[in-house]
Structure 1
């Protein structure tokens, strides 16, 4: 074999060897892929949409408080081309409505910068479109950090949580309440702190976020089929108040005006529907805007109609009178010695504004005699006295659907065994009550002796507009209807002939009782007062409302008696109820 033939054979052999090695590598690769687990592309997609807190509506259908989703806009300053930063600032400002100066200030920081946490959903959609435009204009560039990592991020717009909005600013505060923000693992949530927001926090809170998990399409959208997972979004229940917004706003204007005229610390008005516990208005002059709470608003955050207890003064007298009457311990026509307006009991003197030698027991209530009340109250034994006050709702929760209610304080049976406590409690000292307790107690008399649990929320509404009525405690009979009607007639006489004459309104039947109570500070009574008028107004069409007025600390150098402060406001409230159609005045009267 010559050299040429030998060289050819060698080349052919080498070729076959190379082919054989290549074939072995090919077989080895196939075998390796067969026996090892392959990393396949992820064809699954997941989408989460946050549920939001329910809304609060007034009885007449106005939206009072609602939540909306907010988004945050994030950009990495290292990815913005310095030559095009002005363009970025101008376009972002135009799309977001955020001033250029504010954006420029934030861009002075390095790295990931949050330009805003409070972008609404509409603006968020526009900003996402802006991101595409910025990319097409090469506003963003790649950047290599000190570790050699190369990255390029655009404008990121993602959900950051929810924002609570109160559409009528301070209206219905502090009853409506307010919220604070809570950070969970993904977004910012809100939670009720006071008022309806707090007491119905569990019902208002969202139930579940929307969840979609399944095979994705080319645009990374979830394809819904039998193999996908879907959980519907369930927002919180809507809460429907018993209070009409139109009436509440007009009552608030009245309390604001009277607070200024009287120089009072606070004025509170409550209106309860007769023969039920429905509150139609609970207005205070001490209000705040929950959209922007300031330090000076802190004293106003408490609802003093339920969170402040005080010695009630003479407005307690009809309650004690009705207890005595129901137990057959007094006869309204019985004559009692009133000691010419000055009576010594133990080591102190009881005095009357109207100095009378004697009067009927009914006149004791008409002319608000402390001496007469002190004397007839001695007929109650200590246990009956204490238990009757408890039955009327003093010394315990009224049951109203608002948080942080104070219960006040009533003397125990041991204290009420003494003459002094029996006397002082009968004309409103030595016990502490709240505005709401007094309103509930008067409504018991107005409602023919039946006690109703007060409430400010009528029902709940779900996303399908299904109503859920709120359950309340069953009404309880406290007085006989006979006793209640006698006391109501006497309250009418207080307005027609007694201390409440300025409450009269033509064509409407009105009854009530005045009360002006000294305020104790540092263990002694000072020259400060709380003045009140509690009563009712009814027409000939069957409409009847229990109304309470309290003026806390009116200007003591001016007229501070209830007949000059609370009673004229009571009249204004009744006139408003006529004007708004809640009462129909009889023109013949």
Structure 2
């Protein structure tokens, strides 16, 4: 959008002090700033900026002063109509519309375009001989994977949790585990990119990719994955939890509760530190380190956002005697929220570590796609059978363990809580301050979403991961599932047509059902034609067939994938493009 900038021509100003005073009042400058402005106006220069890209009301006030030597130039200013929404993803620009953070920074050259130039050829006396014009070019459009509706829910619920728990900060990430696409990413505290300078710089930081922290017990997912893959533990095997402690190299590691014999399922459900440490000891240092690296820890994910941290994972030769057991329950390692989300997505999708992406495509000024993101599998980290066994264990965490408050009616949720102690100023683990987290995926049988939420230093008597982060997960995941029209797991919550009325229903009239005709496309395993239906009708029809529905745009269905008549099976993704009438 256009914005006016105020400039001055000092050599045309006779009363620099008076002009500085008048401008100071209009611009609300303090005494020091007025002195600096006066000094600027007293210089023998042909041009100086007074204030760039001012609000329209300020421009009107200054224009009304009719000051000699003071003028206005119209410049272009980036305006963010959604204000704080996805501020850390989109980023912001400086005075010259140069990207300073987020997507604005990463894709500065693509978004900015090229300014018009006039090249003038002169002679030795600098007289113009001829000139060549290079017209400006419009910038490209960067299309994000962010779903605006899901992003709005994430920011609203994260803000609510931070306020209710008195947390210092909060982070939430929502990812499609099949593609690595980031559907939402939010941080608190946040800022308005239209006036980023009004906020402390700490608010600009994208904590989800820039901050490495100890994940705590949700990291037990990685230990369990390695143990099951290497077949050093069985889900129903009884594990000796040492009556609440384990001694390693003369140092006692205490569990958060006293446990004796637990099945490995219950080790995860009850989040026993000693239990997972036993599994890590069976794996050994070399094996465990290999799995940590394969799951992507210790290296940046490569997402298209600036300032990404690779986390903190020491090389094997710097591990101490305590490293193996403490790493198993998420201490002595630093991970980013995005790294942890991507690692758990590998469990959800059957064993592939997907490269996270936040860009869907880049279009030129005429709408042509010049770059399109494709799902990228970095490597296979688990066998599908291992992922299934681990998913079953993580369902137990939500059904009967520390993550029960993450349950969503009608859907099977798999996940893990985390309550990670923070290091106090003395270098020891605090007994009070911690980071409360939950990471999980849903529906567990055909995951459409991986959601990680984390709250930094929540206050109150009930402030652990299962108390504050698990319910935040549920409040984000449930509306996101509705948004994507993902059908429930619970058969009692799925709408279906019945061949005859229920015996419990009294009928006013009844006519025999006519003989069945030829099978419809839906009944015969083929995709019906949903074009022309409303978004709700189309999504409901597809969901009844067991398809995972993704809506794009607004209006009625104008295009669909799979195409009408294509073979389908439950669990496939159905994309419905909405718009005007076809």
Relative to the length of structure 1, the TM-score reads 0.70
**How far apart are the structure 2 equivalents of 1:291 and 1:354?**
49
Asked if residue 533 in structure 1 is aligned to residue 418 in structure 2, the reply is: no
The residue aligned with 1:31 is none
- Of residues 450, 460, 466 in structure 2, which corresponds to 1:546? 450
CA contact (8 A) 1:385 1:413 kept: no
Asked if residue 205 in structure 1 is aligned to residue 112 in structure 2, the reply is: yes
- Of residues 181, 195, 215 in structure 1, which corresponds to 2:102? 195
The residue aligned with 1:23 is none
Q: 1:256, CA displacement in angstroms?
A: 0.9
Q: 1:559, CA displacement in angstroms?
A: 1.6
**How far apart are the structure 1 equivalents of 2:377 and 2:12?**
67
CA contact (8 A) 1:69 1:162 kept: yes
Q: 1:483, CA displacement in angstroms?
A: 0.8
Deviations 1:59-92 (A, max 9, x none): xxxxxxxx65756566789699xxxxxxxxxxxx
The residue aligned with 1:297 is 200
The residue aligned with 1:434 is 336
Deviations 1:455-495 (A, max 9, x none): 22221111111122136754421111111111111111111
Asked if residue 465 in structure 1 is aligned to residue 367 in structure 2, the reply is: yes
CA contact (8 A) 2:4 2:72 kept: no
The residue aligned with 1:392 is 295
Q: 1:390, CA displacement in angstroms?
A: 0.8
Inter-CA distance 482–472: structure 2 relative to 1 (3 Å threshold): closer
**How far apart are the structure 1 equivalents of 2:111 and 2:339?**
27
Q: 1:413, CA displacement in angstroms?
A: 2.0
**How far apart are the structure 1 equivalents of 2:313 and 2:479?**
35
Larger displacement relative to structure 2 (435-444 or 193-202): 193-202
Q: 1:156, CA displacement in angstroms?
A: 6.7
RMSD, matched Cα: 3.8
The residue aligned with 1:239 is 142
- Of residues 563, 572, 579 in structure 1, which corresponds to 2:475? 572
Q: 1:575, CA displacement in angstroms?
A: 2.3
**How far apart are the structure 2 equivalents of 1:273 and 1:304?**
20
**How far apart are the structure 2 equivalents of 1:462 and 1:455?**
20
Q: 1:200, CA displacement in angstroms?
A: 1.6
The residue aligned with 1:171 is 85
The residue aligned with 1:308 is 211
Q: 1:164, CA displacement in angstroms?
A: 2.2
Q: 1:587, CA displacement in angstroms?
A: 6.3
Any residues of structure 2 matched to 1:122-521 within 5 Å, and which? 161-181=75-95, 189-209=96-116, 211=118, 229-294=132-197, 296-416=199-319, 419-467=321-369, 468-470=371-373, 473-521=376-424
Answer with 1 or 2: which has the greater Rg.
1
CA contact (8 A) 2:5 2:72 kept: yes
The DSSP-based 3-state class of the residue aligned with 2:433 is strand
Any residues of structure 2 matched to 1:1-20 within 5 Å, and which? none
**How far apart are the structure 1 equivalents of 2:150 and 2:50?**
39
The residue aligned with 1:524 is 428
CA contact (8 A) 1:448 1:480 kept: yes
Deviations 1:248-293 (A, max 9, x none): 1222111111111101011111100121110011111210112223
Residue segments in structure 1 that go unaligned for 5+ positions in a row: 1-66, 81-92, 141-153, 182-188, 215-226
The DSSP-based 3-state class of the residue aligned with 1:396 is coil
CA contact (8 A) 1:539 1:583 kept: no
Deviations 1:422-454 (A, max 9, x none): 111101111111111111110111111001111
The residue aligned with 1:63 is none
Number of residue-to-residue matches in the alignment: 464
The residue aligned with 2:527 is none
CA contact (8 A) 1:415 1:421 kept: no
Larger displacement relative to structure 2 (260-269 or 362-371): 362-371
**How far apart are the structure 2 equivalents of 1:289 and 1:450?**
37
Q: 1:574, CA displacement in angstroms?
A: 1.9
**How far apart are the structure 1 equivalents of 2:13 and 2:268?**
82
**How far apart are the structure 2 equivalents of 1:304 and 1:198?**
17
The DSSP-based 3-state class of the residue aligned with 1:387 is helix
Q: 1:388, CA displacement in angstroms?
A: 1.3
CA contact (8 A) 2:153 2:476 kept: no
CA contact (8 A) 2:174 2:450 kept: yes
The residue aligned with 2:497 is none
